[in-house]
Structure 1
Amino acid sequence: MKDAFRELIKPVENDIVAFRRYLHQYPERSGEEWNTSRFVQEKLTEYGIPFEKGFADTGVLGIIKGEQPGGTVALRADMDALPITEQAEVDYRSEVDGVMHACGHDAHTSMLLGTGYALNQLKEQLAGTVLLVFQPAEENSPTGGAGPMLDDGVFEQYEPDVIYGQHVWPTLPVGQVGIRDQEMMGASDRFTISVKGKGGHASMPQDGNDAIIMANQIITSLQTIVSRNVDPIESAVVTVGSIHGGYAHNVIADKVTLEGTVRTYKPAIKERVKHRFHKIVENVAEAFEGSVEIEYLDGYPSTINTPEWAEVARGSARTVLGEDSTPEVQPVLAGEDFSRFLERYPGAFIWLGTRIESEEDQMGLHDPKFMLNEKALPGGSATMAQIAYDTLLTLQGGGGSE
């Protein structure tokens, strides 16, 4: 099957880019992907691919049944955008105020449509079933859209043996794919701490209990979790990203609100950090004779690939993009809702290189000036199609492509 999917993608290469630009112009936030969902359904209908809809409200499941018996492979793309005002100078910039596809989900959706088109052309040769999972609300941590889709029975009729996801990656050049055998991305928890003291006049601190001082000590003490409670060989991050408190220069604040995130890979490290987090926050407040309320939200678990299927994906990428297309990459602690699927099914998550030609202008994911290189999209579609094909062969015991 070498080069076969590259050829099969060619008739829709321009469509994939056009789809991406349309979705980029009309982005929709998590849980509001109604137009995107209709668009996906229209294109699946045009391509002759049956589908089911309504999972987690806007989710869609495309179903490509091969004419030969075999296993089932699922391919997932997320559809939602972010609450960001776009600053990128492109002709197809967002026309929705305060909403932008700054994480590439418009590309994911478009590439999966292209993948579906290619696989549907080969269904006579497919030994098994390929599921196209169009997921809402990936950005809506800690709930997300993967869990609700599973709860709604997205795989009730067709249960995958293996599942794959793909994400555009701005630090990798076009033609390269990042694939790791195990950890790809981290667990992403969130917290809000409400620090409560006693207000007063700034000139008479003895009559109050300064919540800002307490908050300051909490922030400083939280940094000892990673430096003194986590093995230096392991990975963890505790970040306070937002502080709100105080009224005026001459007023002692009676309350401060802190918001932040905890990132880890391993479940045992996550639980260790979480335990120390609560102990430190509560004990610092007690030492200052104040009080705290903690809202700790367990977010997405770590995205951890199954080594067997990561290796299949690596071989497929090399078939489509070349032998030098899968460099070694390091994991990151950004969170990903695809992890919900990998908790239940074996599979792999991969990064598709989409770095623009002007490296100095390349902004990261979630940046209002984020852009991606559309030259990568046809290769991304072909790679996912090859992965699905090779996985079905592997499930039959026939190995991957040559």
Structure 2
Amino acid sequence: MTITERVKEIRRDLHRNPELGGEEWETSKRIQAELEKAGIPFKTGFAKTGVLGIIEGSGSGGTVALRADIDALPITEKTNVEFKSTVAGKMHACGHDAHTSMLLGTGFKLQEMKDQLPGRVLLVFQPNEESTPIGGARPMMEDGVFDEYKPDVIFGQHVWPDLPVGKIGIRDKEMMAASDRLSFTITGAAGHASMPHQGKDAIVVTAEFISSLQSIVSRNTNPLESAVITIGTINGGYRYNVIADHVELTGTVRTYSKQAKATIKRRIENLVKGFEIAYEVKIAYDYIEGYDATVNTPEWAELVRDTAAGSLGEEALPAVDPSMAGEDFSRFLAHYPGVFYWLGCAKEGEEIPKPLHDPEFYFNEDAIEIGVDTMVKVTVNALKKLKESR
């Protein structure tokens, strides 16, 4: 069995048996078993289910870390693949099964050629990526995943259905946005629908409040800086003829720059105060900071770009815009230089591919060989670069 076939087999097994963040016990055991079979030493106990594989090269040199996330999503799968999820309400709808299996495949190849590696490779299998704001990267670091071996650079690869197989998406700096959460409870006073003057209508206040929130992006943030405020849920009211006395809202804020985030936080706080005075209501407000923006290190982005171009050709590197989605890999990049890049995985012949987090998300397995080969070559080239700089 080739490494590509082995990776595909592992990926399909993981896809059949998805586990949510904080519950990845069987996934962790499978990773450990595969590392042991390949003769790769490993350590466990990081963020409960995280695993660290360690490949020692033959000569002294730098340390390169490679990361894959291992958790699934609480989504009921709607694909027709033969290896679809067997667990009700759980699915690998973000490609983490592919990330995990491809990192194992990368480890298999690097272990076979370890005598040629001028340094050390760390295989970081991270749990709980989908569970913002806690995540798994910070808990792994707090549990000492890099206490013994500190990476000189860290790389992360994410499957990307907006790109066809054979394409790599990479930017020198911003790749993904900061991902924060909002919650509001607007409390007014109930009353009969026919006598609105006797109550304080929380629904009317909510409608105005949401419109004002949207004006923050259009009128307070720099138009050259991307920012998004989205209200995702609204809950309130009792009956068609009763004035609602409270409404609960939840949402998210997405930004790239710290300045844009600070502006939005300040303006929301001022809006809350102003609405309380203007409408004589109470607004309980919480802003929960999640993942930071995922910002690549330019010199290492150049190495990934050159490596991919050398294997796949310059045409494999289309210009890509950053995504407003959040990513826990950002917390590794807050401590270590590194790069997060996208691996094209679109389903062949599908004009509008199903996006990540969709119950019909489809990972094209033709991308497996490219994904493993790219990670192997990026690792080798990074170790060479670190060796030359010492």
Asked whether 1:19 is paired with 2:10, we answer: yes
Q: Give the aligned partner of residue 287 of structure 2.
A: 296
Question: Cα RMSD between the aligned structures?
Answer: 1.2
- Could you give the per-residue CA deviations for residues 36-55 of structure 1, whole angstroms, max 9, x where no partner exists? 00000000001110000010
Asked whether 1:239 is paired with 2:230, we answer: yes
Q: Give the aligned partner of residue 385 of structure 2.
A: 394
**Secondary structure of the equivalent of 1:69?**
coil
TM-score normalized by the length of structure 1: 0.95
Deviation at 1:398, TM superposition (A): 7.3
Q: Give the aligned partner of residue 189 of structure 1.
A: 180
Paired residues in the alignment total 390
Deviation at 1:323, TM superposition (A): 3.0
Asked whether 1:344 is paired with 2:332, we answer: no
**Cα separation, 2, equivalents of 1:335 and 1:283:** 30
Deviation at 1:217, TM superposition (A): 1.0
**Cα separation, 1, equivalents of 2:299 and 2:242:** 61
**Secondary structure of the equivalent of 1:171?**
coil
| Counterpart among 44, 47, 61 of residue 56 in structure 1 | 47
Sort the Cα spacing of 1:197 and 1:277 in 2 relative to 1 into closer, same or farther, 3 A: same
Q: Give the aligned partner of residue 129 of structure 2.
A: 138
**Secondary structure of the equivalent of 2:145?**
coil
Mapping of 1:171-250 within 5 angstroms? 171-250=162-241
Q: Give the aligned partner of residue 109 of structure 2.
A: 118
Deviation at 1:275, TM superposition (A): 1.1
Q: Give the aligned partner of residue 3 of structure 1.
A: none
Query: Which AA in structure 1 matches 2:40?
Result: I
Asked whether 1:375 is paired with 2:366, we answer: yes
Query: Which AA in structure 2 matches 1:218?
Result: F
**Cα separation, 1, equivalents of 2:30 and 2:185:** 43
- Any gaps of 5 or more consecutive residues in structure 2? none
| Counterpart among 77, 94, 98 of residue 107 in structure 1 | 98
**Secondary structure of the equivalent of 1:278?**
helix
- Could you give the per-residue CA deviations for residues 379-398 of structure 1, whole angstroms, max 9, x where no partner exists? 10110111111001001127
Query: Which AA in structure 2 matches 1:315?
Result: D
**Secondary structure of the equivalent of 1:21?**
helix
Q: Give the aligned partner of residue 283 of structure 1.
A: 274
Equivalent pair of 1:181/1:307 in contact (CA under 8 Å): yes
Query: Which AA in structure 2 matches 1:34?
Result: W
Deviation at 1:318, TM superposition (A): 1.9
Q: Give the aligned partner of residue 74 of structure 2.
A: 83
TM-score normalized by the length of structure 2: 0.98
- Any gaps of 5 or more consecutive residues in structure 1? 1-9
Fraction of identical pairs, as percent: 56
**Cα separation, 2, equivalents of 1:57 and 1:344:** 21
State which drifts further: 240-249 or 321-330: 321-330
Deviation at 1:186, TM superposition (A): 0.3
**Cα separation, 2, equivalents of 1:366 and 1:284:** 35
**Cα separation, 2, equivalents of 1:355 and 1:394:** 32
Deviation at 1:221, TM superposition (A): 0.3
**Cα separation, 2, equivalents of 1:189 and 1:169:** 22
**Secondary structure of the equivalent of 1:174?**
coil
Asked whether 1:73 is paired with 2:64, we answer: yes
**Cα separation, 1, equivalents of 2:10 and 2:362:** 16
Q: Give the aligned partner of residue 30 of structure 2.
A: 39
- Could you give the per-residue CA deviations for residues 150-195 of structure 1, whole angstroms, max 9, x where no partner exists? 1000000000000000000001110110010000000010011011
Equivalent pair of 1:320/1:379 in contact (CA under 8 Å): no
**Cα separation, 2, equivalents of 1:77 and 1:396:** 25
Query: Which AA in structure 1 matches 2:315?
Result: D
Query: Which AA in structure 2 matches 1:216?
Result: A
**Cα separation, 2, equivalents of 1:202 and 1:89:** 49
| Counterpart among 246, 252, 257 of residue 255 in structure 1 | 246
| Counterpart among 149, 156, 170 of residue 158 in structure 1 | 149
| Counterpart among 293, 303, 308 of residue 299 in structure 2 | 308
Query: Which AA in structure 2 matches 1:20?
Result: R
**Secondary structure of the equivalent of 2:60?**
strand
Equivalent pair of 1:104/1:168 in contact (CA under 8 Å): yes
- Could you give the per-residue CA deviations for residues 83-112 of structure 1, whole angstroms, max 9, x where no partner exists? 111111111111111111100000000000
| Counterpart among 314, 319, 326 of residue 323 in structure 1 | 314
Equivalent pair of 1:163/1:345 in contact (CA under 8 Å): yes
